[in-house]
Amino acid sequence: MYLYLYGDGVLCAESLTSVDPSVSTYACFESCRQRGIGIDSAAITVCGLVTLAGLITACDRIEAFV
């Protein structure tokens, strides 16, 4: 399972990694920059929307939550 956080979702990125370590967690770089937070965790990949597009292309099923 892949979890891509953007907007205010990046604020809770580090707390979500302890829920299920098998989930691949990604945080939007621009959202982190705009909120002035740095994510220093090996469990979270900070990346851009190109990575999100790649995840969508590679998955059979997508669920979005706002």
Confidence tier at 13 by pLDDT (50, 70, 90): confident
Gap between the Cα atoms of 6 and 27, Å rounded: 6
Gap between the Cα atoms of 13 and 5, Å rounded: 7
pLDDT in tens, 14-52: 887 777 778 888 999 999 999 998 888 888 899 998 988
pTM beyond cutoff 0.75: yes
Gap between the Cα atoms of 8 and 20, Å rounded: 20
pLDDT at 31 (0 to 100): 93
Is residue 1 within 8 A of residue 24, CB to CB? The reply is yes
pLDDT at 64 (0 to 100): 80
Q: Where are the domains of the chain?
A: 2-58
